[in-house]
Amino acid sequence: MADDRSASMLEVKAIDAPHGHYDVAILGGGLAGLTIALQLKRERPETRVLVTDKRTEPAPEAAFKVGESSVEIGAYYYREMVGMRDHLERYQQRKLGLRFFMPAGDNSDITKRVEFCTPGHLDAFTHQIDRGRFENELFRRARKAGADAFRGWRVQDVSLGADNHTILMSHEGEECIATARWVVDASGRANILRRKLGVGEGVDTGHHCNAAWIRLAGGLDFEDWTDDEEWLGRIPEKGLRIHSTSHLIQPGYWLWLIQLESGPISIGVCADPRFHPWEEISSFDAWMEWMRRNEPQLHAALDGRRADVLDFLRVQDYSYGSTRFFSPDRWTLVGEAGAFLDALYSPGSDFIAFSNTFSCELIERELDGEDVTELCDFYNDFYLALFNTTAHLYRDNFQLFGNPQVMVAKFVFDSSTYFSGIGNAWCHERMRKPEDIDRLYTVLGPAIDMLPRMQELFRDWHALENTPFEGVSVLPKALAPYIQAQADMAHPAEGEEVFENSRKNVEYLKALAVWIFHRAARNLPDPPDESRPINPLAISLHPERWEADGLFSDDGISLVQALEMLPGIEEMDLQKRGAVAAAV
C-alpha cells in the first residue's frame, strides 16, 4: 500500500530520543493520541507537540486492536476534524449501519432470527476501520504535520510541575526526559495518570462485563449460511449485509462481526458474567466451545478454519471511569486512558472525539494566554454527564437481548436519541464551545431525562412480555422521522437551524416514548386509557406511581397524536409485521 511505503521513510527518525521542551506531551500514540496530535497541529499549527508510544514497530494490519466500528460522531471526527477522509474512503470500509440478529430457537438458522438495522443514509456514512492500517497512517501524518511522534519510547513516569511537567521515557535501558506545559494521557488501559493521580478510585460504572475476540483471515459472510431466497432478497443485493457492523445477540451477550477492508473479519463477544462466566470465553478453546453452544452456525463456519485465526485476545471487566478528565493543573485524559463503558453501539471513537476536542479547546486557549480553570470544570462536568447518561444504555440491560420486541423498540429509541441529540450537534460542530453546549442542554433536556426512564421501562416490559418472535427483518424504511433524524446529521445546517432540528427531533422522541409505553402497557393487568394524553417524562410501567409522577397530563401526547407524529411506526410492532411467535 502506497501509504505504508511512505510511512517507512519516516520510520528512520522514529527511534531518536525525545528531548527538549514542548507545549503538549501526549503519552501513548494509539488512536486517541495520534488523532489529538493531528488535531492540535491542524487547529494551532505552531503548537509544539510530542507524542510517544512504547511500541517499537509499525502496527500489523487487522490482528491489532479492537475499536474497528465507528458510528456517526466518531466517523465525522476522523473524517472531517482530523482530516482522514481520503484515507478512510480509499483504504477502509464504508459501513451500512448497525445490524442486529435477535435469538431464535437454538440459533441454528439465521433466517429465523428477527433482524434490525439502523438506517444507512448515504450522506451520514460511517466506517469499519482496520486499526493497524489506520494508526500507521495517523503516525505518518502526525509527523508530516510537524508533531514529534516517536515509537519505542515507553513513558516511565510523569512529574507534574507548577509551570511545566517532566516526562521520563525509556527505550532498551536508555532513558530520556522531555518537558511540556500540558500532558495529555492517551495511554489507553495503561491509564498512566489515572493510576498515578488516583482519579479512578471509588468509581464504579455499575457495568461489569468481559470480552474475547479473534481476527479471521479471509473474512466470513454469514449470508453464505443459507440459500433462502426470500431472506436474501430482503436486502437489495447479496453481499451487502456484511458491510454493516453486525451483531448476534442473546440473553447476556452480544457478538460482533466486523469485516475489514484488509481482508480479515473481527469477531468478538461481550458477555455479562452473570449469564456467561468469564471461564467460558477466556481461552480460545473455551470460546469455541461456548460458540458451539450459543452460536452454532458461526461455530460451524469457524470450526474448519482454525488455521485462519490470526489472534485471540480478551479483556475482563472492561468498563471503568474516572472523576476528572480535564484539570486546571494542565493535564487531560483522552480515550481509554480516562474511561470506557461498552462497545455496543460503538461509542469508543465518539468518546475519543469528545475528550480530544475538549482537550484541544483547553490547551489552545491556555497557550494563547487564557485562564481555563473554570472551563476545565465545565468540560469535566459535561464529559461526566455524557458518560453517565450513556451508561444507562448498558447497565443491567444484557438480559434484554433475548427479547426481540423490546430490543427493536430499544434500538429505535436509543439510536433516535443519539441521532437527534449529540449526533446532530456534533456533526454540525456545535458541541464544543461552552455557549453551544449550554444551548444543547436546554434543547435536549427532555431527551436526557427520558433516557434512564425508558431503560427502566424496557427492563419492566421485558419482565412482563417476552414473546419469542421470529421471521421478520425490520429495516426501517417507512418510519419517516427516524430516517429524517439520521439524515439531519449529514444535511448542511447552520446557526439556529441545527438546534431547531434537534428540538423538532426531541418532539418525535417524546411521541416515540408514548408509543413504546402503550405497546408495553398492553401487558399490564389494567392497561391505561389510550385516549388520555401522557407526559413522556413520567412514563413507567408502575401504575402505583402514575399519579404521583404526573403521567396523565393535558399537555401530554395521546396515542392517536403519537401515531400521527410517527408515520411508519407500525413497522416496529413485530406482531403487526407478521412475526411468528415460536413455540417454546
Ligand X SMILES: Cc1cc2nc3c(=O)[nH]c(=O)nc-3n(C[C@H](O)[C@H](O)[C@H](O)COP(=O)(O)OP(=O)(O)OC[C@H]3O[C@@H](n4cnc5c(N)ncnc54)[C@H](O)[C@@H]3O)c2cc1C
| Smallest gap from residue 243 Cβ to ligand X (A) | 15
- What's the Cα-to-Cα distance from 149 to each of 19, 176, 294, 320, rounded to whole Å? 12, 15, 44, 28
User: Any contact of residue 395 with ligand X (CB under 6 A)?
Assistant: no
Site string for ligand X, 352-381 (x = CB under 6 A): x-----------------------------
Contacts of 151 (CB under 8 A, 6+ apart): 11, 14, 15, 29, 53, 55, 56, 57, 58, 139
The yes or no reply on residue 107 touching ligand X (CB under 6 A) is no
DSSP-assigned states of every residue in 69-100: B--HHHHHIIIIIS--HHHHHHHSEEE--EEE
Map grid coordinates 464544543 to a residue: 432
For residue 240, the 8-state DSSP code is -
Q: Tell the smallest beta-carbon distance from residue 213 to ligand X (Å).
A: 6
DSSP state of 196: H
Binder among 18, 23, 26, 33 for ligand X (CB under 6 A): 33
User: Is there binding between residue 53 and ligand X (CB under 6 A)?
Assistant: yes
The closest residue (CB) to ligand X is 30
CB of 332 to ligand X, least distance (A): 12
54 or 430: whose CB is closer to ligand X? Answer: 54
Contact in structure between 92 and 239 (CB atoms under 8 Å)? no
Q: By the 8 A CB rule, do 50 and 180 touch?
A: yes
Q: Which of 18, 97, 321, 335 binds ligand X (CB under 6 A)?
A: 335
By CB under 6 A, tell whether 318 contacts ligand X.
yes
**Of positions 104, 220, 343, 512, contacts ligand X by CB under 6 A:** 343
* 439 is a site residue for ligand X (CB under 6 A): no
Please state the closest distance from residue 441 (CB atom) to ligand X, in A: 25
69 touches ligand X by CB under 6 A: yes
In the complex with ligand X, the residue whose CB is nearer, 118 or 405, is 118
> For residues 160 and 182, what is the distance between their CA atoms, to the nearest angstrom?
9
Instruction: Choose the stretch contacting ligand X; rule: CB under 6 A; options: 50-58, 291-299, 430-438, 452-460.
Output: 50-58
Q: Determine contact, residues 476/568, Cβ cutoff 8 Å.
A: yes
Among the listed residues 412, 461, 451, 399, the one whose alpha carbon sits nearest the alpha carbon of residue 249: 399
- C-alpha neighbours within 13 Å on the C-beta side of residue 431: 28
Min CB(74)–ligand X separation in Å = 5
The answer to the question of residue 336 lying near ligand X (CB under 6 A) is yes
Out of 18, 30, 200, 533, the only residue in the binding site for ligand X (CB under 6 A) is: 30
Residue 511 in the binding site for ligand X (CB under 6 A): no
C-alpha count within 13 angstroms, C-beta hemisphere, residue 204: 3
CB of 351 to ligand X, least distance (A): 7
Contacts (CB under 6 A) with ligand X, residues 263-292: 268, 270
User: Nearer to ligand X by C-beta: 74 or 481?
Assistant: 74
CA 409 – CA 463 distance, rounded (Å): 15
Q: Does 32 bind ligand X (CB under 6 A)?
A: yes
Candidates 93-101, 324-332, 336-344, 522-530 — which segment interacts with ligand X by CB under 6 A?
336-344
The dihedrals phi and psi of 213, each to the nearest 5 degrees, come to -150, 165
Question: Where does this chain touch ligand X (CB under 6 A) — which range of 39-47, 49-57, 225-233, 398-406?
Answer: 49-57
> CA–CA distance from 286 to each of 278, 292, 507, 558 (Å)?
10, 10, 48, 51
Per-residue mark of binding to ligand X, 149-188 (x: CB under 6 A) = -----xx------------------------------xxx
396, 459 Cβ separation under 8 angstroms: yes
Which of 7, 47, 63, 74 binds ligand X (CB under 6 A)? It is 74
Q: Is 219:305 a contact under the CB 8 Å cutoff?
A: no
> Residues 6 or more apart from 374 whose CB is under 8 A from it?
none
Residues 202-261 within binding reach of ligand X (CB under 6 A): 211
Structure-block grid coordinates of residue 320: 471503568
CB of 76 to ligand X, least distance (A): 13
Beta bridge partners of 49: 24
Q: Of 39, 47, 52, 424, which one interacts with ligand X (CB under 6 A)? A: 52
Helix axes 480-490, 496-521, angle to 10 degrees: 150
- Does 117 bind ligand X (CB under 6 A)? Our answer is no
Helix/strand/coil for 194: helix
Question: Of 112 and 131, which has the nearer Cβ to ligand X?
Answer: 131
Q: What's the closest the beta carbon of residue 446 comes to ligand X, in angstroms? A: 28
Per CB under 6 A, 190 contacts ligand X: yes
Rule CB under 6 A: which residues touch ligand X? 27-33, 52-55, 65-70, 74, 154-155, 186-188, 190, 192, 211, 268, 270, 315, 318, 335-337, 343, 346, 348-349, 352
